[in-house]
Structure 1
Amino acid sequence: MTRAAVVQGLGAMVPPGIVTNAMLAERLDTSDEWIRTRTGIAQRHMVEPGVATSDLAVVAGERALKAAGTDRVDLVVLATTTPDHPCPATAPSVAARLGLAGVASYDVSAVCTGFIYGLYAGAGAIAAGLADSALVIGAETYSSILNPEDRTTSVIFGDGAGAVVLRAGGADEPGALLGFDLGSDGSLADLIMIPAGGSRQRTPVEPADAYFTMNGKQVFRHAVERMEGAARSVLAKTGWRADDVDCFVGHQANIRILRTVALQLGLPEDRLAVNLDRVGNTSAASIPLALADAARDGVLKPGDRVVLTAFGGGVTWGATGLIWPDISVF
């Protein structure tokens, strides 16, 4: 039997604070209708001052471990664009707070594709026999890097975290990750960027350089192309046709991106998992949060064929597939 990584448990959390479109319209040149029409987002969750990415990651990790019925893993991978500090990585702190001190742990920075990259890392370690289990977390506090005066980004992003526990198993088991397609194109790095704060530009030349920036039109085009392409590659690796997919979980960036990708794949809209209306774009947390909501809402059921795909800064993209297992979700 081929050794594979199998999804054993899923946990998710969003902070209690809700920011509605109407609340944003009070301080920005926008409206609820403008935001909904262009993004599909009605509200997003944001942390209170003093709450960091690790705080969200720990809760999501605790819930995933509880759902999996375990308190130990061999590896912790944290996908985030918003680490607690530029140095050190946030994953070791999260692991220690989860009672996993001494376990290998590291951050993955692939922006909105981060969770897929994290699954790839965890699955690779398990398939190679380097680990028997892994906790993969996507966690973000995007409210910490957004320019509050920029309506092009402030209306899109939210905070949250989601996590899965992977265990070693067989490729023929429900929950086994059945193949990956990952890629990147650094020539497009400026499409999604925080210009200042790194070794290239330590100090902001302009105040806006310290904040997250995005070229929305170009991101839309490349996101559709790359998410569709990655999904098709995974379909080829699994031997599925598009008609075989019961639940398509794309990165929750924009409802128009999701619908366009589904249309080009030939998938009916009712097979899309969508929760961005409630949580916005949560970057690396997007896919596990969407999985959790889809499972709770009955959109995602045991035995369903599932394709996950995302596009993010770098630029990066990726996809994977699995048959959804009968697991707990917390």
Structure 2
Amino acid sequence: MKRRLFMAAAASPLASAMPASLGWAAPDTATTGSWRSYELTTTVTLGADAGRTRIWLPLPHDSAYQRLEAVTWTGNAPKLGIYTDVASGTHAFHAAWDDGGVPRTVALTTRVSTLDRRSDLRAASAGAMPDDVAKFLKPNAMITTDGIVKETADKIVEGKREPLAKAQAIYDWIVENTFRDPKVKGCGIGDIRSMLVSGNLGGKCADLNALFVGLARAAGVPARGVYGVRVAPSAFSGAMGTRNADISKAQHCRAEFWIAGIGWIPADPADIRKVVLDDKLALNDPRMPVLRRFLFGAWEGNWVAFNHTRDVRLVPSDTVVNYFMYPEGETAQGQLDGMDPEAAGYRITAQAVS
């Protein structure tokens, strides 16, 4: 058994506030603009017949709106530790077992604090794009930027010159032309070319927000997905949060785009479509304009972010995953299905802490 404690440097808080008079039923834990802390525990238990086993668990990252305060772990794996994908900077907890006749058990606990987040969209200005931002204009395996993706983006932003106006047009197009498909497994895979070629614009967050990211990149606006998990209720809708202690199936990805003078700006058109489906609302419901405005430039701190990268290499191996939001693993029988907590042998819980 091994155990380690890590204390992160405190990040600078962002001034943030939720809009008043939303017309939504606010939960008891309505946001206040102050830091809120949560303890997340992921427990993995696999049978003694698993053989050679490797497990990777995503870790929360540090930012101006989120701070990782502690990491502890226990387990019976001979190898336990934190590894980093150098190319992306993504951190993962890793556990490895050789052949042997004992059940594989490991538990990872993280303490993380979050803030509600809002960008001042009036602060947009002209300015140079840093290299670490420009890389989020590049395509990857699922989020392509040529062919039908480029053609669609050009039609959406036609006549618009300012990057912020382009991002707004793409956000509105996603909201008005896609739909949430509850039949999609997990959060989806985000194969945006296939979505556009087929004309089937249904999916879940990793599909719809990936479409926003790809179209934005094709229009010259840096954008990226942010992969994480819901940990608390939402002040807007039950569809945008969780009241369950068990968050094994509460994964959710959001999106960000970059504008000079402002920096990275939140956008989450996928949650608009989730509210439409789960709350049985029409897009022209009188409450929807408030939510649409909020989710273009803000997000609630009822969610913990892990990373913002695709095609993540899970070191110390050559395994590459589309995105790293679920627990990942390999046994002697093959790859574990991270989108299926029961089959993959894991459980994730969250609780608010003072």
Larger % of helix: which?
1
Relative to the length of structure 1, the TM-score reads 0.28
Larger % of strand: which?
2
